Amino acid sequence: MHLKEIKVKHTFYQEDSSAIAKALTTDLKDGLSVHEAEDRLVKNGRNALTAKAKKSLFAKFVDQFKDLMIGILLAAAAVAAMTGEQTDAIFILAIVIINAIFGVFQESKSENAIDALKKMATPKATVIRGGQPNQVPATDLVEGDLVELEAGDIVPADLRLTSVQNLRVEEAALTGESVPVNKTDSTLPDGKLALGDQKNLAFMNSHVVYGRAQGIVVLTGMQTQVGQIAGALQDQDETKTPLQENLKSLSKFLTYLILGIAALTFVIGYFTQNMPIIDLILTAISLAVAAIPEGLPAIVTITLALGTARMAKKSALMRKLPAVETLGSTDIIGSDKTGTLTQNKMTVEKIVLNGKVIDLAGQNPFEDADLSKGAATLADIMALNNDSQFTDDGLVGDPTETALIDFNSKYREAALQELRQQERLQEVPFDSERKMMTTVYKAFDQNDGYLVTVKGAPDAILERVSSIEENGQVRDFTEADKALYQDINGQLADQALRVLAFAEKTVPALQEEADATQLETDLTLVGFVAMIDPERPEVKDSIAQAKAAGIRPMMITGDHPKTAAAIAGRLGILEEGDDRAASVLTGADLDDISDEDFANRVEDIKVYARVAPAHKVRIVKAWQKKGKVVAMTGDGVNDAPALKAADIGVAMGITGTEVSKEAADMVLADDNFSTIVSAVKEGRKVFANIQKALQYLLASNLAEVIAIFTMTLLGWEVLAPVMILWINLVTDTFPAIALGLEPAQPGIMARKPRGKTANFLSGGVGPAIVWQGILQAVIVLSVYGLALTFPDHTGAELVHGDALTMAFMTLGLMQMVNAINVKSVYQSQLRTSTFSNHFFNGALFFSLIAMMAVVVIKPLNPIFHVTNLDPYQWFIVIGASLSIIVIVELVKWVQRKLFNRG
């Protein structure tokens, strides 16, 4: 079969390694020449996953204008310019451009952060070229390269293994199988095999946990198994977040409202007031400017960006800005177990000596006279019967074996260093049939003889034991002993602990070759070791916090149901009284039930065990059909579809593959469940702050629209576009941005999720916008009417320009004062904590000064069509502006007392 045909059918596992080498014109001993490797790199490109082409800065800038409200503003600017209102046109364009720049800046900032994360994850590879081993970036590998693998390596490309020494590779990222796969270099039989069964291949991004090997690179970059999934994902549509949907709906509603009001005003002005066409056009522009919250896109972007920055400091990197807010509405969090809920590090939790279980959390066996000798012997075997290695990057090896070394390091570091110097004379590696591993050393007492150490599955070793050591004394192993230790093994297994048995014996001479049949008989049992990947200590409190917030945490793992249930119970995901049969579901069970049955059961299930990543998509869809917002964690390539399908896809920053990170909305730099819960709290705060800013902006804009519309009906002089733009520029920027910096309200994590159907106008915000907008308009119109009717303190009638100026100033100052009111829909703001946000205080002060400056500074008067006010007029303006505080507080008090609001 030709190489091209092999590539198409992906049948490398069926071909002999020498045939593969010949097809790739490489050497199984010396690899490619350096020159040939360089030529192939130039010809075929780098061994890297390619992402979608990034948009240019110009394209990003143009995208910011693809909003209907922005289009209306641009049209208003064009009309203003054509009618001679150049200042108005410039102001409108300035606002639009500033918003666009904000959007481009934040999008680029987010992309740069992800790029930095990618660079940190670029692995190295050991490649043989011209017969010499060299370390090169994995991206420089080419087809035909001969690569060396050892424990701790990340497989840098898809390899056909050519020689294997006890190689075990963890492929969970690709296949979902949590147990490392034993690899071979033998040719496999014909027939289509699943990836997990192609045991003479090593796949890109999988992890070597044990042994050594060599292999030929057969596929690189996007042709690898990982690359093919990455390519398919790039064609999938992005899931719209609730924020994006809310803003889209709001924009559509405001657009129709603006067009309707402008048309109505035009008709009324033309037919009832006989207004000139030019004046009507300018009035329509004023209405458009008044109705459109042109600062909203920038405010939302800035608020989200500030939330993103705060999350980044807490190890949560947001890839998509709108996802920050989506987190706040999360109903369900489906979490991996290993590394997210647990420490991803096997730990010796209990040992068994003298027929007793010793819990290491409460007892040090080396300090107990009845246990110390037995504990020392047990620890010796843990260290000697062990293949893990100390490297510059730390301890590397099988997680079970590194746990045994960690036990020694904790209790007897000095003895461990001596044991590591011992020369291993013989060994019989572990295999799945014997279920044990044996090593041989020179006996410690320097007498003639050799020490044989054995570790393995308790059931296998108990069959080969003839004696037992109890604190230094050896006696016969009886049937009663066997029954006792079998019972202990069962009890520990029920607690989801992984149990290993340890035994030894002394032999007088070495055999020519290590023979398991001879070495693994008549053993002396020393004890058991019980291990587990323990839960992260902070996660239990985070799960309790999530539950209090109405969020349902679920565990989704490839581990055994007993292991999953035990950890879930320790963390509080499973509670006392839960029916374990109903609460725990395996992947096999999930395959056997229909979608309808699953929909009926999904609310009862808290733990999914022995599931493949593909099952996660089904779990996500089941909850989404019930209207829930789902966050799903994942680290593997096959997790990517579930991360895409979820409302919030959460990838692991440490153990996660590049494909999973690309598919996710959020990347956890610490792979910690608690970080998700912290991010949910931040998301709720972001949503609450956007609601405050939205209430503030829309109530202000509604007041402006009502005021202009009423002025038109009454035949009064209408506020000019430049006046409205200045009010919006001053009030819609700093105070609105400052509202995005408000601290989280007390009890924010004691509330239930707001739900998928909730929007920015829910929770009383919509009605508050309406009545506060109407109230502001009434106050402004009252000031205008008062100014036209009554003389000032000198007895002279107020001129028309003064009345318009007073209305203009009242509208602007009152909007800023109302920013204090919107900090809570129902709660009083007459308390000291109201002014705890120092940025808000400064923003309010600056905006008040800027608003008053256009009237106080006489050279600015003509630009804004205003007059200079005297102290009596200022008294009316300031009194009217402050009245909004008193009136709103009274309304809130009535709402709390009569309607039990807040």
Per-residue model confidence as pLDDT tens digits over 552-590: 999 998 778 888 888 899 999 999 888 888 899 998 899
Specify the pairing of strand 630-634 against strand 332-335.
Answer: parallel
Give me the mean pLDDT over the 781-788 stretch.
91
Same domain, 76 and 37: yes
Same domain, 769 and 807: yes
CATH number at residue 167: 2.70.150.10
b (16+ CB within 10 A) / e for 103-134: bbebbeebeeebeebeeeeeeebbbbbeeeee
- Would the pLDDT of 354 be above 50? yes
CATH number at residue 526: 3.40.1110.10
Same domain, 691 and 793: yes
- Looking at residue 230, its pLDDT comes to 66
Q: Which of 131-135, 638-642, 712-716 has the lowest mean pLDDT?
A: 638-642
Residues forming beta bridges with residue 351, ordered by sequence position:
358, 529
Same domain, 200 and 145: yes
pLDDT: which is higher, 437 or 636: 437
- Confirm if 553 and 542 have CB atoms less than 8 A apart: no
Same domain, 141 and 124: yes
Same domain, 87 and 126: yes
Give me the mean pLDDT over the 676-687 stretch.
88
φ/ψ (deg, to 5) at 743:
-65, 160
Q: Show which of 671, 703, 726 is a domain's final residue.
A: 671
What is d(CA 712, CA 114) in angstroms, rounded to the nearest whole number?
53
What is d(CA 566, CA 603) in angstroms, rounded to the nearest whole number?
20
- Would the pLDDT of 110 be above 50? no
What is d(CA 811, CA 705) in angstroms, rounded to the nearest whole number?
11
Q: Show which of 183, 200, 218 is a domain's final residue.
A: 218
Q: Report yes or no on 894 lying in a domain.
A: yes
With a pLDDT cut of 90, the percent of the chain lying above it is 34
pLDDT: which is higher, 750 or 469: 469
Same domain, 304 and 257: yes
Q: Which of 298-312, 352-366, 411-425 has the lowest mean pLDDT?
A: 298-312
- Would the pLDDT of 801 be above 70? no
- Looking at residue 332, its pLDDT comes to 94
Same domain, 794 and 848: yes
Burial of 823 per CB tally in 10 Å (0-12, 13-18, 19+): buried
Same domain, 517 and 619: no
Per-residue model confidence as pLDDT tens digits over 183-207: 988 888 776 776 777 889 999 878 8
- Confirm if 419 and 231 have CB atoms less than 8 A apart: no
CATH number at residue 590: 3.40.50.1000
Mean pLDDT of the chain: 83
User: Would you state the structure tokens that stand for residue 688, as one six-digit string?
Assistant: 């609450």
Q: Report yes or no on 888 lying in a domain.
A: yes
- Looking at residue 614, its pLDDT comes to 72
Residues forming beta bridges with residue 797, ordered by sequence position:
791
Q: Show which of 532, 557, 585 is a domain's final residue.
A: 532
Same domain, 176 and 42: yes
- Would the pLDDT of 729 be above 90? no
Same domain, 21 and 121: yes
453: nearest Cα among 388, 501, 393: 501
Burial of 829 per CB tally in 10 Å (0-12, 13-18, 19+): middle
Residues forming beta bridges with residue 281, ordered by sequence position:
none
Measure Cα distances from 537 to 541, 548, 550, 626 in Å. Answer: 8, 19, 22, 33
Per-residue model confidence as pLDDT tens digits over 10-63: 578 888 888 889 889 999 999 999 999 999 999 988 888 776 666 677 777 777
Q: Report yes or no on 425 lying in a domain.
A: yes
pLDDT: which is higher, 155 or 112: 155
- Confirm if 477 and 435 have CB atoms less than 8 A apart: no
Q: Report yes or no on 751 lying in a domain.
A: no
b (16+ CB within 10 A) / e for 583-599: bbbbbebbeeeeeeebe
What is d(CA 356, CA 352) in angstroms, rounded to the nearest whole number?
5
- Would the pLDDT of 758 be above 50? yes
Residue 703, CB-side half-sphere exposure with 13 Å CA sphere: 33
Give me the mean pLDDT over the 699-717 stretch.
86
- Confirm if 174 and 241 have CB atoms less than 8 A apart: no
The yes-or-no answer on residue 336 being catalytic is yes
Q: Report yes or no on 885 lying in a domain.
A: yes
What is d(CA 542, CA 553) in angstroms, rounded to the nearest whole number?
10
Q: Report yes or no on 749 lying in a domain.
A: no
- The domain of 405 spans 347-532
pLDDT: which is higher, 11 or 67: 11
506: nearest Cα among 545, 450, 567: 450
- Categorize the per-residue pLDDT at 833 as very low, low, confident or very high, splitting at 50, 70 and 90: confident
- Confirm if 46 and 221 have CB atoms less than 8 A apart: yes
pLDDT: which is higher, 344 or 445: 344
Q: Report yes or no on 230 lying in a domain.
A: no
pLDDT: which is higher, 15 or 272: 15
Q: Report yes or no on 562 lying in a domain.
A: yes
pLDDT: which is higher, 260 or 294: 260
CATH number at residue 309: 1.20.1110.10
User: Would you state the structure tokens that stand for residue 628, as one six-digit string?
Assistant: 């829930």
Helices (H) and strands (E) in the chain, counts: 34, 26
Same domain, 713 and 739: yes
- Categorize the per-residue pLDDT at 795 as very low, low, confident or very high, splitting at 50, 70 and 90: very low
Given the residues 88, 336, 533, 732, select the one marked as catalytic.
Answer: 336
| Count of structural domains within the chain | 4
Per-residue model confidence as pLDDT tens digits over 287-298: 766 666 766 666
